[in-house]
């Protein structure tokens, strides 16, 4: 391995330089926050240095005159050191906070652009830690530990200066011992890396458990899952505890090891130093000053292993941050995208195949041409691939074979923004944001007028319900719209889509939670509003499907039948005909 390769493979080196863009806007203050460590650390040495004249003149020489100012100077230096320390801590928090903010912002920008498939495979806990907490560990955590580290190093350099000033012979012994004592610190990262990674996995799960307890609170109550939750949680806590203890076990020997090596150093220094005094090579003042400097140098070393562990944890967090930032975008946009103003012809699926996991095709060779002004209904058994098919249009996922075209242009040639601006989607289970009804509906068209909002509410069959509310459209609906009924939530989502007024409309079981009467009204509004649009509607109530211009039966990933209601009913033993007959001849058919 060449040196260059070595440097490149060294994560610390690579990441260290890559933090620069985040540091750049605040570099003078960042530099100052580190430079301030020099006087803070360096002033340690002054105290030790003054002890030489003090000992020689006062203790040995019994002379009170010369060094009267020494106690005052010591107090003075300590005061200055204290003030600098305050400044250092303040600057450190400021710079750490700014860096954390910048990194978090970049991570969040990445997060909102990530493709849905990413979220299919991650837990909410992992997202929370990797996009939020890691930024803190990587920046603020690193900086405050770096400050301790630098202060210690500056203090060490100054103290070594004091050692050398007093006796170079003793210094050689002391520095040799120092190097032996700190040598194992270089191994810390290797020792903790795998454990830190396991510990993170556990922390992801802990966070996920909190989220599930929040979002699933009713299921937990309804199925008496409290005991199960508690047991799972306790198991996680045990794992976390064991991992923290394991990290301690792997690193806690560092401190006593250093202590031991250092005691040898002190013993040697005292023995050798006494001999040097007797020989007359050094004065007693040199010896006292040397020993003080040595003690000041060695004492913090015993704790430096903790700092080293924290610094390495921060470096590991930086590695995780950059692993996310370096992650290539899966939904690639072309360098030069084609504009998509209005949809004039329609949406066409050409030989589309798709699989979520390699080798398991969920859609096979789908060909479907839907013209503007046409409403196509997708029907078929659950799990057949209907939702998957429509989720390919706004590029929640990209097709693996074939292509989807709008007006003859592959949808991957448009910018994601333009493409999605032209599509309105209503899902079966819609996400509503924490806020009011109006705020949620306006997401479809932020600059809509009150009349437009009222019209959308009317069309979505919500107007009567809104009238019963004290605050009307300004009514707060809670996180995820929890204060609304399933049908009301769905209608808010439909109103949002109506307001967006996009040329392509996707309704994936969008009216499944409505009662028959509302569904009929909403369906009529849909029929009216969808006149010049390209509409994909998935519904399992075949009565609503009958209005569609054409019906596509999706069966286990294949487009099995395609035609009008009458055409499909005419196929003997046809899938649609069977589905239809089953729904309408069933003795207790709720829908």
Query: Which residues of the shown chain bind ligand ADP in the complex (CB under 6 A)?
Result: 120, 356, 362, 382-388
135 binds, among Mg ion, ligand ADP, none (CB under 5 to 8 A by kind): none
**384 touches which of Mg ion, ligand ADP, none (CB within 5 to 8 A by kind)?**
ligand ADP
Shortest distance, CB of residue 204 to ligand ADP, whole angstroms?
A: 19
Choices 53-61, 313-321, 357-365, 387-395; region in contact with Mg ion by CB under 5 A:
387-395
Q: Kindly report the number of other CB atoms within 10 A of residue 147's CB atom.
A: 23
Q: Could you say which of Mg ion, ligand ADP, none residue 82 binds, taking C-beta under 5 to 8 angstroms by partner kind?
A: none
List phi, psi (to 5°) of 122: -110, 155
Structural contact between residues 384 and 441, judged by C-beta atoms closer than 8 angstroms: no
What one-character-per-residue DSSP string does 522-579 give? HHHHHHHHTTTSEEEEE-S-HHHHTTSSEEEEEETTEEEEEE-HHHHHTSTT-HHHHH
**Residue with Cβ nearer ligand ADP (363 or 416):** 363
Rank residues 388 and 430 by Cβ distance to ligand ADP and give the closer one: 388
CA separation for the pair 184, 297 (Å, rounded): 18
Q: Residue 274 and residue 283: Cα distance in Å, rounded?
A: 10
Look up residue 449 and give its two tokens.
């007028």
362 binds, among ligand ADP, Mg ion, none (CB under 5 to 8 A by kind): ligand ADP
Q: How far is the CB of 124 from ligand ADP (least distance, A)?
A: 15
Among 332-340, 384-392, 400-408, 451-459, the segment contacting Mg ion (CB under 5 A): 384-392
Q: Does 511 bind Mg ion (CB under 5 A)?
A: no
Q: Determine the residue with CB nearest Mg ion.
A: 387
Q: Smallest distance from the beta carbon of 393 to ligand ADP, in angstroms? A: 13
Kindly tell me which of 178 and 366 has the beta carbon lying closer to ligand ADP: 366
361 pairs with which residues across the strands?
355
Q: Residue 554 Cβ, how far from Mg ion at the closest point, in Å?
A: 10
Which one, 395 or 438, has the nearer CB to ligand ADP? Answer: 395
Q: What are phi and psi of 504, to 5 degrees?
A: -115, 130
- Min separation Cβ 580 and ligand ADP, Å: 17
Nearer to ligand ADP, 386 or 489 (CB): 386
255's CB contacts (< 8 A; 6+ apart) are 302, 303, 305, 306
- Four-CA torsion 42, 46, 49, 53, nearest 10 degrees: 160
Q: Which is nearer to Mg ion, 209 or 387 (CB)?
A: 387
CA distance 199 to 134: 13
Q: Output 236 or 560, the one with its CB closest to Mg ion.
A: 560
Q: Which residue intervals of 129-225 are DSSP H helices?
A: 134-136, 142-166, 168-182, 188-215, 217-222
**Residue placing its CB nearer to ligand ADP in the complex, 370 or 437:** 370
In the bound complex, what is the minimum distance in angstroms from residue 383's beta carbon to Mg ion? 8
d(CA 101, CA 104): 5
End-to-end CA distance of the chain: 70
Query: 86 contacts which partner out of Mg ion, ligand ADP, none, CB within 5 to 8 A by kind?
Result: none
Work out the burial of residue 224: count CB atoms within 10 Å of its CB; fewer than 13 is exposed, 13-18 middle, 19 or more buried. Answer: exposed
H helices present in 381-540, as ranges: 386-391, 416-421, 437-442, 450-459, 463-467, 486-500, 516-529
For tokens 């069966």, the residue is 555
Instruction: Count the site residues for Mg ion by CB under 5 A.
Output: 1
Question: 312 or 387: whose CB is closer to Mg ion?
Answer: 387
Minimum CB–partner distance for residue 325 and ligand ADP (Å):
25
Which residue of 55, 156, 387, 511 would you call a contact of Mg ion, by CB under 5 A? 387
Minimum distance, C-beta of residue 541 to Mg ion, in the bound complex (Å): 14
Query: Minimum distance from CB of 391 to ligand ADP (Å)?
Result: 7
Q: Which does 511 bind (CB under 5 to 8 A by kind): ligand ADP, Mg ion, none?
A: none
d(CA 226, CA 14): 47
383 contact, one of Mg ion, ligand ADP, none, CB 5-8 Å limit per kind: ligand ADP
Measured CA to CA, the distance from residue 355 to residue 387 in angstroms comes to 13
Q: Which is nearer to ligand ADP, 238 or 429 (CB)?
A: 429
Residues near Mg ion (CB under 5 A) are 387
């Amino acid at each position: 391995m060449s040196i260059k390769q070595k440097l490149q493979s060294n994560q610390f080196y690579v990441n260290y330089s890559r933090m620069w863009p985040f540091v750049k806007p605040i570099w003078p203050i960042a530099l100052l926050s580190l430079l301030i460590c020099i006087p803070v650390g360096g002033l340690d040495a002054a105290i030790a240095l003054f002890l030489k004249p003090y000992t020689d003149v006062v203790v040995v020489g019994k002379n009170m005159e010369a060094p009267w100012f020494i106690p005052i100077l010591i107090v003075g230096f300590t005061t200055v050191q204290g003030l600098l320390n305050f400044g250092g801590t303040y600057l450190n928090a400021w710079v750490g906070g700014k860096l954390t903010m910048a990194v978090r912002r970049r991570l969040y920008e990445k997060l909102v652009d990530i493709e849905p498939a990413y979220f299919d495979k991650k837990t909410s806990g992992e997202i929370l830690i990797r996009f939020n907490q890691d930024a803190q560990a990587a920046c603020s955590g690193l900086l405050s530990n770096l400050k301790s580290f630098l202060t210690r190093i500056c203090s060490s350099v100054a103290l070594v200066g004091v050692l050398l000033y007093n006796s170079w012979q003793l210094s050689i012994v002391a520095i040799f011992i120092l190097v032996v004592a700190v040598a194992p610190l270089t191994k810390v990262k290797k020792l903790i890396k795998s454990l830190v990674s396991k510990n993170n996995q556990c922390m992801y799960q802990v966070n996920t458990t909190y989220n599930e307890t929040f979002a699933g609170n009713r299921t937990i109550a309804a199925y008496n899952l409290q005991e199960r939750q508690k047991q799972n949680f306790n198991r996680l806590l045990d794992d976390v505890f064991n991992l923290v203890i394991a990290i301690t076990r792997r690193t806690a020997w560092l401190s006593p090891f250093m202590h031991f090596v250092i005691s040898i150093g002190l013993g040697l220094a005292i023995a050798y130093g006494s001999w040097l005094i007797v020989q007359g090579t050094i004065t007693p003042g040199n010896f006292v000053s040397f020993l003080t400097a040595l003690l000041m140098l060695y004492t913090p070393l015993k704790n430096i292993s903790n700092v080293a562990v924290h610094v390495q944890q921060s470096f590991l967090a930086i590695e995780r941050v950059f692993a996310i930032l370096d992650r290539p975008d899966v939904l690639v946009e072309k360098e030069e995208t084609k504009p998509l103003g209005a949809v004039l012809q329609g949406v066409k699926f050409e030989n589309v195949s798709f699989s979520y996991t390699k080798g398991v095709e969920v859609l096979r060779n789908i060909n479907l041409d839907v013209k503007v002004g046409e409403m196509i209904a997708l029907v078929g058994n659950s799990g057949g691939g209907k939702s998957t098919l429509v989720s390919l249009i706004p590029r929640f996922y990209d097709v693996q074979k074939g292509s989807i075209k709008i007006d003859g242009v592959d949808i991957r040639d448009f910018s994601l923004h333009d493409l999605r601006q032209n599509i309105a989607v209503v899902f079966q289970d819609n996400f509503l944001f924490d806020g009011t009804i109006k705020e949620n509906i306006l997401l479809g068209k932020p600059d809509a007028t009150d009349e437009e909002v009222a019209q959308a509410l009317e069309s979505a069959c919500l107007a009567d319900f809104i009238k019963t509310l004290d605050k009307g459209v300004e009514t707060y609906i809670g996180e995820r719209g929890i204060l609304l009924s399933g049908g009301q939530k769905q209608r808010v989502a439909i109103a949002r889509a109506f307001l967006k007024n996009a040329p392509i409309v996707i309704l994936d079981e969008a009216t499944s939670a409505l009662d028959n009467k509302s569904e009929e009204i909403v369906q009529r509004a849909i029929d009216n509003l969808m006149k010049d649009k390209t509409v994909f509607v998935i519904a399992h109530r075949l009565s609503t499907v009958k209005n569609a211009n054409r019906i596509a039966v999706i069966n286990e990933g294949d487009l099995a039948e395609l035609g009008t209601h009458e055409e499909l009913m005419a196929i003997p033993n046809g899938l649609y005909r069977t589905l239809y007959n089953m729904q309408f001849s069933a003795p207790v058919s709720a829908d």
